[in-house]
Chain A
Amino acid sequence: MPRQKLRDAAFILPFFGLILIMPPFVDIFFSVRLLGGIPIILLYIFCAWTALIILGWMMSRRLVTDTDMADPRPPILHPLPPEQRDADG
């Protein structure tokens, strides 16, 4: 996926999650009956949650380029010799 589209997807993801856990969608799954010993509503919320985490994981693996994550602090040009470094700690 092109980078800009990936960023757009990253922008949408939390809102997608919001739609999943807010009425009216969450109301559809509101049932206290059990499925495999787990209330259906609970099952739905945990499944949606897991899906969001997996999506977030997949996106975060690709979302980063070196320039995006450059350390903004100016580089230290000359690393200090160890004795000086200890001295100011």
Chain B
Amino acid sequence: MLTADVVVAIALGYVGLLFLLAFLSDRWSRKGSRWISNSPVIYTLSISVYCTSWTFYGAVGSAARNGLEFITIYLGPTLVFLGWWYLLRKLVRIGQVNRISSIADLISSRYGKSNTLAVMVTLMAVIGTTPYIALQLKAVTTSFEVVSGGSGDLLGNLSGDSAGGIDPALWVAVGMALFTILFGTRNLDANEQHPGVVAAIAFEALVKLLALLMVGLFVVFSFGGLENLFPEEMSRRLLERENVFGGRWAVLTFLSATAIICLPREFQVTVVENSRESHLRTAGWLFPAYLLLICLFILPIAAAGLTRLPEGANPDMFVLTVPMAANQEMLALFAFIGGFSSATSMVIVACIALSIMISNHIVMPVVLRLRWLRLYDSADLKTLVLFSRRFSILLILFLGLLYYRLSAQTEALASMGLIAFAGVAQFLPSLLGGLYWRQATARGAKLGLMGGVVLWVYTLLLPSLAEDGTVFGEIVSNGLFGWEMLRPEALFGMTGFDPLVHAIVWSLTANTALLIAGSLFSEQAPLERLQSALFVDVFRNTPGDESRALVRSAAIDDLRLLSRRILGADAADRQFRDFALRQGRDDGVPVADTAFITHLERQIGGNVGAASARVMISEVVSGETISLDEIIRMVDETQQVIEYSQALEANSRTLEQTAAQLRQANQRLMRLDTEKDDFLSQVSHELRTPMTSIRSFAEALLKADEMPPDQARRFMRIIHDESLRLTSLLDDILDLSHLESGEVRWQVERLDPETAATSAIAACEGLAAETGVRVDHVPADTPAAIRGNRDRLSQILINLISNAIKYNDSAEPWVRIESRVEAGRWRVDVRDNGPGAGDVAPDQLFSKFARGWRQIAKGRSGTGLGLAISAEIARRHGGDLSLTESSEQGSCFTLTLPVAQ
């Protein structure tokens, strides 16, 4: 049996370990080792401070009571983190650029560094967090008593008083105060980052996850697998509820999604302690994975508790009592440490976050109003800030303890988690409005926040505190002043809803509506407008932009004095030195220009909050003007950037098209190039054949002295014929090259194309008679006139007709020339019943370089350039020559020419 002493000793040992870990990490990071801030995994683990003892113990309790509903608390944050690129990244960027120290600071900065807003948010955060801290203290106490077998029994119905006379809550509170003061307020850091605390929190996150997983695994295996643990009637008992996925499911998911952004402690670990934006990449999926693991065994543990433990056992303690009922004391002890971890980590981070808010937004403004602490006094404000932080931590823990003592007997604490969530959810409209809506004004934010909080108190907090017979109880049952319409849980007759859904719908609707209405009907102050431009367009502004719109000057010595008092002498001097270097000055004294003042204000704001920093800087600054024109120009410029990038996109599309065209042109050129090579080798070959025969016959004539005159004559005839062929080939090549280069000038006249056809047919009559080919001429019905050169046109037709005659090898060969006028063009078809052009591609047929040319010209007389020349002539007449039909039964070449007007 574990005794109280053993448990206390182990808990103390664990706390000692945390202190050691925090101490070492702090020391490493001050020595310049950055593994804590460099590790995205540690960052993610520290975010899991979201899972408090309300998760560790409460999730199982909630599962046993309400079935699947507990899972919504983890699905909301999952969705927010999956969408990190849009919301969290912007929050982190704004936080880093503007040295935001808390959520109150963020909202106040956005709305013109309004201190009123900062105070409102801070108070709301304190109201929402104190009961939550009390809840953690209660969880530690209760679990301690269960595990040490104090006054508790397995039924877990416990009172706040411990048997041993020690109240663990007090000791936990003292221990946590000590830890937080030691590692959370060690010094003032311009980024409000606490590596020691983060390392300890991350370690605790691992411990609580491991503890929960081990209890879960134990439960599953000790029952002999899931089948025995989770029979169908258990599944039915736990999960089958009326309307599981109703309004409450949606509202709880929304609420938890809101909480992961708005809870002060979450804001602290996610935004303020973030040292690199890129950590969000990992956290974006790793944190959802952590939450999934946390949820994995919740239902099995609940099932095991309901099966094994006596009726009426407290489901909130199942995580402890289930292992204990199986006499697994070590496991129970580990589970206790897990629960202890989740409680302490929440208390520590919440205290740090709240102490920053209280000291920056409540203590500092008061101090700044006191005469005797004004700038020109020598008092060191840095010490004062640290002191007020420590005092705030003690105050918060004291409040938590007090709340716990006063309400320990009631059941109010159990529902506190969701009530606190609903409270901080009131920050959401101002936060999102500030991040994405340029026109949101401070007036709107104040109105919205106020309305939301009032409704939250009235519809949710008040009923939770009400007991029958008290004033509150009276209001809850009969409405304020006895008006039925004002019943807190059925406002204006909205009945039939779950109280939480009812409260959320009313408070957030009112909050958002007031923010929008207030913003529409009020003007932004100049500073507000500047800040809104800086926040909404944070990804587009370049740092230092605001110094264009905010012009001011100050004496450098005043600035040095002020920053030394806040940042400390060394840190302040370093800021001055660095900035002087950036300005290109090597005397270490920067010029007190607008940029430097803005930079300094941010540094100071990192320590005392933007609103207080502004008040302080304003003390030493003179001649501040905010140029509305510049702000408008800034907003315009970001607009221009958007337009510019759109134009760029369009441009790159055009470029892509051009590139595609160039690629095509290049391919065409390459094809032409190979065709040209092809042509050259073809021409050489064609020239070589006659040359070779001329040479060999000439040699034979030279060598043979005695040659019969007949033979010599025959040889010379061959030489003569071959020379003629050579000449005509060269003529053709010359002709073609002249045609193509456009050097040929011929006489152009108005003429009847039929006359050209007639003369061409006449020229071919001899050839036709020789080969026995019938030539028919079918002229057009209507006379047409074209502009062109008669001889050249005849040349085309002669070429076509003579080819048709020469290559026609059918039994009854015929050629038909048929012309007509259609669509403003004179068209002539030269049709034959020859063998056709084979499978030569039509465009190659007319190309002088084509490979197909070789096949056609093979073994036939003529240079083979005729078609290429004809096509060129047709083109030069504005007409077209094409092969319109080609088959085994014959082919048809068509020449079209434009009719002259």
- Chain A residues at the B interface, C-beta cutoff of 8 Å: 7, 10-11, 13-14, 17-18, 21-23, 26-27, 30, 32-34, 36-39, 41-42, 45-46, 49-50, 52-57, 60-61, 63-64, 69, 71-74, 76-78, 80, 82, 84-89
Contact = CB atoms under 8 A, between A and B. Distances in A.
A32 to B, nearest CB: 5
A88 B236 contact: no
B481 interface: no
Interface string B94-130: 0011000000000000000000000000000000000
A39 B51 CA distance: 25
B78 A49 contact: yes
A31 B571 CA distance: 62
B239 A42 contact: yes
A40 B62 CA distance: 20
Contact of B239 (A21, A23, A32, A56): A32
Given A27-B245, A50-B292, A42 B79 contact: no
Nearest to B572: A88
Contact of A52 (B96, B288, B299, B568): B288
Nearest to A50: B292
A11 B86 contact: yes
B299 A60 contact: no
Interface of B: 30-32, 68, 71, 75, 78-86, 93, 96-97, 187, 225-227, 229-230, 232, 235-236, 239-240, 244-246, 249-250, 253, 276-278, 281-282, 284-285, 288-289, 292, 295-296, 299, 543, 568, 570-571, 574, 578, 581-582
B281 A72 contact: no
Give me the 8 closest cross-chain CB pairs, A-B, nearest first. Answer: A37-B226, A88-B570, A14-B83, A56-B285, A57-B285, A60-B281, A14-B79, A10-B85
Nearest to A87: B570
19 contacts: A7-B85, A11-B83, A21-B253, A23-B246, A23-B249, A30-B244, A33-B235, A37-B225, A37-B229, A45-B71, A52-B82, A52-B288, A53-B289, A56-B284, A64-B281, A73-B97, A77-B582, A87-B570, A88-B570
Nearest to B278: A69
B578 A76 contact: yes
A20 to B, nearest CB: 10
B235 A32 contact: yes
A78 B276 contact: no
Contact of B80 (A14, A32, A38): A14
Nearest to B291: A49
Nearest to B97: A72
A30 B196 CA distance: 45
Contacts of A52: 78, 82, 288
A77 B581 contact: yes
Contacts of B284: 56, 60
Contacts of B570: 84, 87-88
Given A36-B226, A39-B235, A78 B85 contact: no
A5 to B, nearest CB: 13
B232 A17 contact: no
Contacts of A41: 68, 239
A22 B281 contact: no
Nearest to A79: B32
A14 B85 CA distance: 11
B278 A64 contact: yes
Contacts of A80: 574
Contact of B230 (A34, A45, A71, A77): A34
A73 B253 CA distance: 35
Given A46-B292, A69-B278, A13 B235 contact: no
A18 B79 contact: yes
B97 A89 contact: no
B interface majority secondary structure: helix
A48 to B, nearest CB: 9
B30 A32 contact: no
B714 to A, nearest CB: 78
Contacts of B288: 49, 52-53, 56
B47 to A, nearest CB: 15
Contacts of B85: 7, 10-11, 63
Contact of A74 (B86, B232, B245, B582): B582
B86 A10 contact: yes
Nearest to A64: B281
B285 A53 contact: yes
B285 A88 contact: no
Given A26-B245, A39-B230, A52-B82, A77 B578 contact: yes
Contact of B227 (A23, A30, A37, A49): A37
A39 B244 CA distance: 15
A30 to B, nearest CB: 7
B285 A32 contact: no
A43 to B, nearest CB: 11
Contacts of A78: 578, 581
Contacts of B295: 46
Contacts of A30: 244-245
Contacts of B281: 60-61, 63-64
Contacts of B84: 60
Nearest to B568: A88
Given A14-B83, A60-B285, A78-B578, A49 B292 contact: yes
A32 B68 CA distance: 11
Nearest to A73: B96
A13 B570 CA distance: 47
Contacts of B235: 32-34, 39
B574 A88 contact: yes
Contacts of A82: 32
A17 B578 contact: no
Nearest to A58: B285
A86 to B, nearest CB: 8
Contacts of B229: 37
A54 B288 CA distance: 10
B230 A14 contact: no
A70 to B, nearest CB: 8
B476 to A, nearest CB: 31
Nearest to B289: A53
Most chain A beta-carbon neighbours within 10 Å: one of B30, B245, B543: B245
A57 B96 CA distance: 25
Contacts of A42: 68, 239, 299
A22 B245 contact: yes
A80 B288 CA distance: 40
B571 A88 contact: yes
A43 B225 CA distance: 16
Contact of B82 (A13, A64, A71, A84): A13
Nearest to A52: B82
A32 B232 CA distance: 7
Contact of A33 (B71, B232, B296, B581): B232
A78 B285 CA distance: 37
Nearest to A60: B281
Contacts of A23: 245-246, 249
Contacts of B93: 72
B543 to A, nearest CB: 6
A26 B68 CA distance: 12
B232 A34 contact: yes
A72 B75 contact: no
B289 A39 contact: no
B582 A56 contact: no
A80 to B, nearest CB: 7
A13 B245 CA distance: 21
Given A22-B245, A30-B245, 15 more contacts: A14-B80, A14-B82, A14-B83, A33-B235, A39-B230, A41-B239, A49-B75, A52-B78, A53-B288, A60-B281, A64-B278, A72-B97, A74-B582, A80-B574, A88-B571
Contacts of A60: 84, 281-282, 284-285
Contacts of B250: 22
A84 B282 CA distance: 34
B390 to A, nearest CB: 19
Contact of B543 (A14, A45, A74, A89): A74
